[in-house]
Structure 1
Amino acid sequence: MTRQIPAADADLDALLMAHADGQLSPEEAAEVEARLEQDPDARATLSAWCMQGAAIRAAADALDTAPPSLRTAALERELARALQRQGWRARLMGPMMGAGLRRIAAGVVLFAAGWGAHWIHDAATTPYPGYVAEGLGAHQVFANDLLRPVEFTAEATEGALDWVAAKLDRKLSHPSLAPLGLELVGTRMLGTREGPMAQFIYEDADGHRMSLILAPHPENMPAAPLRMARWGEDRVGYWRDTQLDYAVVAQTSDMQIQAVAEEVARLLGPG
């Protein structure tokens, strides 16, 4: 007897997690795959969990001999909090508690809050904002997808901009980066644990792609200046104003990230 595809987010999350772990019967897996064909947000969620699981396993293997210390104990506590926020605590409590959790804490604490085990940041503040982690994940999943990187092509984005703005509950103008040599590939809307998020994907003359991430700015958060981070070969610049939170992700230089951030701030910033 197969399980019914649930409508509730929590139940669907559990089913997607089981699918990612290969725990569903062939009939159940086929039913989930059919749902994924019609649900881009569910596809993104499943891809995120698959990437998270692979990165956690890789970090655990790499840090297998790491000795316990006050530092790793502190990271263990932070990791536990991050995993609880991301819905992974129940999966890791059994096999990775104690020494196993200490083993991966040093390398995975920043990843567990979002998407990577190797962030380098120009300041000591952690964890990174959730929208930045979600944006990096979206870039990894969609930016270089040759089949369907976006929901709205460049031509369709202008007509969809009012719909995107309504989803974000913010006014938007067209974020054209053509003066910087970046042509718009298109746009997609994503649902995250923190709310709606828009991803604009651009491409330069050499075919390299960049993602601009926009998320509604929380009312209780202050604005924040541009900060830089790195995950693998990707550079990330992120900042906040009083209306929107922004992130720019690409395999590029800090100088280009800053130039893009300045142009985006000019186009989309308040006043």
Structure 2
Amino acid sequence: MSQALVTESELHAYVDGLVSETRRVEIEAYLAAHPHEAGRVAAYEAQNSALRALYDPVLEELVPSRLTATPRTTSWHLQRYAAGLVIALASGAAGWFLHGVGDEDAVPARALRAGGAFQQAASLAHQAAIAHVVYSPDARHPVEVGADQEAHLVTWLSKRLGTPVRPPKLGKLGYDLIGGRLLPGQSGPVAQFMYQDRGQQRLTLYVSTEQSHNKDTSFRFSEQGPVNVFYWIDGKFGYALSGTIDKATLANVAAAVYEQLDKPP
């Protein structure tokens, strides 16, 4: 088959290891001759690796006793199946919002009793981490509107979210705005701004206006697989800064973000 006939679906199948050995060799020859396509495939592979690192640990978690109460014993295969269901639910943020909270961000008993507000904040961190993992590895289309159209980006996202939003300036910390995009939230649109330093390290700021409990929170830190997240709620706004950089560096950037968002434009 000609190299020119390599399709998009075949590239995805190649990344997932689902092509025949013969076709794999042909696709690799095609990628060698088309460096832009090879870069796109590398981004897909990086995204898959990040998603596996984010979700695979749940496969090793114990199945809750309530799921195994009817049969007195549960086979290993059934446990794996139940864990898989947990992953499926997590993609919709239905019931797995506490999974990624790190040991250094222990949950106080009073927060658990508070219910909705705490759960909403933890869900915010998890959704932000997923969005970071999905879009930050993309080499060609990491954002919908680039930083060269920042005025349009701000107007567009503010209109869609129904309130003024703007990207903080992080150039003094070495991170320049790449652009942003609109994402689906749990009950409406959310915004994502993406930044990058000279070493191609990317950070994303997730902005939500879905905080129905409107209970302000201080900074919280969460480890979501390979992604570190600092998140907080300010009135109806929920903010989450995500990246694979170390906690101390991310905290410094988060503080700069908070300081700018707390001031009028």
Would you call these one fold, judging by a TM-score over 0.5? yes
Report the number of matched residues. 194
| Larger CA Rg, structure 1 vs 2 | 2
Letter in 1 for 2:204: S
What's the CA shift for 1:198? 0.6
What's the CA shift for 1:186? 1.0
What CA distance in whole angstroms lies between the structure 1 residues aligned with 2:81 and 2:220? 29
Change (3 A) 1:162 1:119: same
Change (3 A) 1:113 1:270: farther
Residue identity (%): 22
User: What does residue 123 of structure 1 align with?
Assistant: 106
What's the CA shift for 1:201? 0.7
The unaligned stretches of length 5 or more in structure 2 are: 1-46, 69-74, 113-117
What's the CA shift for 1:114? 5.3
RMSD: 3.7
Q: Is the 8 A contact 2:97 2:122 kept in 1?
A: no
Q: Is the 8 A contact 1:203 1:209 kept in 2?
A: yes
What's the CA shift for 1:113? 3.6
SS state of the match for residue 218, structure 2? strand
SS state of the match for residue 221, structure 1? coil
What's the CA shift for 1:133? 1.9
Q: Which of 175, 180, 187 is the matching residue for 1:187?
A: 180
User: What does residue 65 of structure 2 align with?
Assistant: 73
What's the CA shift for 1:197? 0.9
Cα-to-partner distance string for 1:113-171 (whole Å, 9 max, x where unaligned): 45896542512257553332221111111011002110001111222201211222222
User: What does residue 35 of structure 2 align with?
Assistant: none
User: What does residue 134 of structure 1 align with?
Assistant: 127
What CA distance in whole angstroms lies between the structure 2 residues aligned with 1:116 and 1:218? 17
Q: Is the 8 A contact 1:110 1:117 kept in 2?
A: no
Cα-to-partner distance string for 1:189-222 (whole Å, 9 max, x where unaligned): 1012232111111111211111111001524330
What CA distance in whole angstroms lies between the structure 2 residues aligned with 1:234 and 1:114? 16
Larger relative contact order (Cα-Cα within 8 Å, sequence gap ≥ 6): 2
What CA distance in whole angstroms lies between the structure 1 residues aligned with 2:139 and 2:98? 23
Matches within 5 A, 1:107-256: 111=90, 113=95, 119-121=101-103, 122-124=105-107, 125=112, 127=119, 129-256=122-249
What's the CA shift for 1:267? 1.6
